Amino acid sequence: MTRRGVVIRRDAGLFGYERALYRCGLGPVAGVDEAGRGACAGPLVVAAVVLPPEARRRVPGLADSKLLTEPVRERLYDDVVAVADDWSAVVIPAGEIDGTGVHVANITGMRRAVARLARRPGYVLTDGFPVAGLGTESLAVMKGDRVAACVAAASIVAKVTRDRIMRALHTRYAEYDFAQHKGYVTAAHAAALTRYGPCDEHRKSYVNVAAHAVPTREARSSRLEDRVPAISLHGVTETA
């Protein structure tokens, strides 16, 4: 990859992007990634992480969060936040996702996450697609969480933050078993939606959730009232 005189080989290792950008004076370099985009319940969490050049030695085992077990992610989360020069995490609730759509919410979250960093980065690497309005030069990296260390770190921060939220929500909505599936679509989650209907943490704009929506009390009452006159007139005869 070439960008403003920066040459980065895709096989340069997980820290190749950062090394090349720092050599060209484009640091600090922030990586941005999200967790929960494909879920139908719970928030979307977007994280931004700036790693120091020596992070390669201080965060052994850093990788895409999706390739790691939950205990390893938790350990690496602690390592990342301890070592990072800067980091932030933005939580976008289900209601906001319903209001704007998940893609817009995702982009908004990326902008917020970068804006919340204590120092504006010199360069931002995003996972998968370009994002305008980050306040600095940026590059979309395909499978960025597998080829760029700062994006992998952001994926871990976002995933662990969201998993902790979903485990906390499980204590309020145990019938959905959020601690197990984290709000993603599984057979058990679908069965719970069928049995209980959506809760406040479900994304009501999603087709599979909307299919199980329970009418509000006002809507049920309105329909009942509409039926009452027709029901009461059947079989009634006038008397003298």
From CA 141, how far away is CA 3, in angstroms rounded?
Answer: 12
**Phi, psi for 29 (deg, rounded to 5):** -105, 125
pLDDT at 218 exceeding the cut of 50 = no
Report which of 30, 16, 14 is spatially closest to residue 139, judged by C-alpha positions: 30
Bridge partners of 32, per DSSP, are 48, 126
From CA 100, how far away is CA 87, in angstroms rounded?
Answer: 25
For the stretch 80-134, pLDDT in tens is 999 999 999 999 999 999 999 999 999 999 999 999 999 999 999 999 899 999 9
- Contacts of 9 by beta carbon, 8 Å cutoff, 6+ apart: 1, 16
Confidence of residue 20 (pLDDT cuts 50, 70, 90): very high
Q: Which CATH class is domain 2-172?
A: alpha beta
Burial string for 126-143 (b: 16+ CB within 10 Å, else e) reads bbeeebeebeeebbebee
Q: What is the DSSP letter of 41?
A: B
60 and 76 Cβ atoms separated by less than 8 Å: no
- Average confidence score pLDDT of the chain: 86
The two counts, helices (H) then strands (E), for the chain are 11, 7
Confidence of residue 168 (pLDDT cuts 50, 70, 90): very high
81 and 157 Cβ atoms separated by less than 8 Å: yes
Give the model's pLDDT for residue 89.
98
For the stretch 171-212, pLDDT in tens is 999 999 999 999 999 999 999 999 999 999 999 999 999 999
Give the model's pLDDT for residue 60.
85
Q: Which one is predicted more confidently, 214 or 178? A: 178
pTM for the model = 0.84
Half-sphere exposure of 123 (CA within 13 A, CB side): 24
In sequence order, which ranges of 50-206 are alpha helices (DSSP H)?
A: 55-58, 70-83, 94-100, 102-115, 144-147, 149-172, 178-181, 187-196
Give the model's pLDDT for residue 39.
98
- Domain segments of the chain as ranges: 2-172, 175-228
Report which of 78, 74, 59 is spatially closest to residue 15, judged by C-alpha positions: 59
